[in-house]
Amino acid sequence: MTNRGKDVTYAEVQRQIRECLEKGGKKLVISCPDLTRIPVFPGNCPLEYLELVGNYKTIPESVGNLLQLKTLKLCSEKPITLPDSLGNLSALKKLKIYAPVINIPKSFDKLAMLEKLDLCSQDILLPKTFGHLSALKELCLDAKKMQLIPDSIGQCKKLEKVIIVSDTLSVLPESFCTLKKLKELYLDTFALKLLPAGFGNLGALKSIDVFSGMMTSLPESIGNLKNLESLYIDAYNVKKLPLSYKALSYKTTY
């Protein structure tokens, strides 16, 4: 069930949820600028896909009742506070959140089945236990003011694709280089000063796209990336390439 009207009251949203559940619906999409409050979700809710677009600030604790939910998409023009019950969503595989501020609860690291995470905000503070998301395959972080990627990201051993956009992130943790299954890497990170020394350990990498206004050199280990097919590095302060660069046999360069 999808609603994209311009005037949805709280009672109307309640009615739509009730009607969707009575019909055994598994997908619910509500998109409206007047959506400022999210109603309570009943227990044993069969929803597998939920998308909420509006101007709300909080997600009710009852979202934790959506035990069959596989995809959750939240978009609000207001700062969003996620409930502790988010960690109850044991079936969740895809989570996408767009908001000026995203307040992430401690229970976030309990999303053991999460495979795709897409967060877009002014700033993002990931918990130190981020690495507990062991099923994660795709990660997209778009936050101009984000300054830190936790060391525990190295525990996300199934990561295959990483996109990071930030104007203030200056370093990647060395543990990032332990992501042996990483195939695609996109970094739009103006303040990034260098790539980790062990960058060449990312042997599965096929595509690299990096922008930095602060980077002055590339790691010597970059020549170890034998599976590389596409390489794009826009770092105008890098004046000299490492000797190992000649060892690269990528098929496409820009």
* All structural domains of the chain with their residue ranges: 1-114, 121-254
Give the residue, 242 or 4, on which the prediction is more confident.
Answer: 242
pLDDT at 3: 43
User: What whole-number percentage of the chain has pLDDT above 70?
Assistant: 94
With CA atoms as reference, report the closest residue to 131 among 93, 173, 73.
173
Mean pLDDT over all residues of the chain? 91
Q: Can you tell me the distance from the alpha carbon of 79 to that of 38, in angstroms, rounded to the nearest whole number?
A: 14
The set of long-range contacts for 234-237, using a CB threshold of 8 Å and a minimum separation of 24, is: 234/210, 235/210, 235/211, 237/212, 237/213
Least confident of 180-189, 196-205, 244-253: 244-253
Is the per-residue pLDDT at 87 higher than 60? yes
Which pLDDT score, from 0 to 100, does residue 32 have? 83
The rounded distance, in Å, linking the Cα atoms of 4 and 147 is: 36
Output the six-digit token pair for 254: 């820009």
pLDDT: which is higher, 199 or 33: 199
What is the domain class of 1-114 according to CATH? alpha beta
Compute φ and ψ for 67, nearest 5 degrees.
-70, -15
* pLDDT for res 4: 44
Q: What's the N-to-C CA distance of the chain in angstroms?
A: 45
* pLDDT of 17 above 60: yes
pLDDT tens digits, residue range 137-152?
999 999 999 999 999 9
Per the CB < 8 A criterion, the answer to whether 86 and 106 are in contact is no
- pLDDT reported for residue 175: 97
Q: How much is the average pLDDT of 107-134?
A: 96
- For residue 132, the model assigns a pLDDT of 97
Residue 242, token pair as written in the block: 């490492």
Rounded mean pLDDT of 86-113? 96
Q: Is the pLDDT of residue 39 over 60?
A: yes
**In which band, very low, low, confident or very high, does the pLDDT at 250 lie, cut at 50, 70 and 90?**
low
Same fold, 1-114 and 121-254: yes
Indicate if the pLDDT at residue 69 is higher than 50.
yes
- For 121-254, CATH gives 3.80.10.10
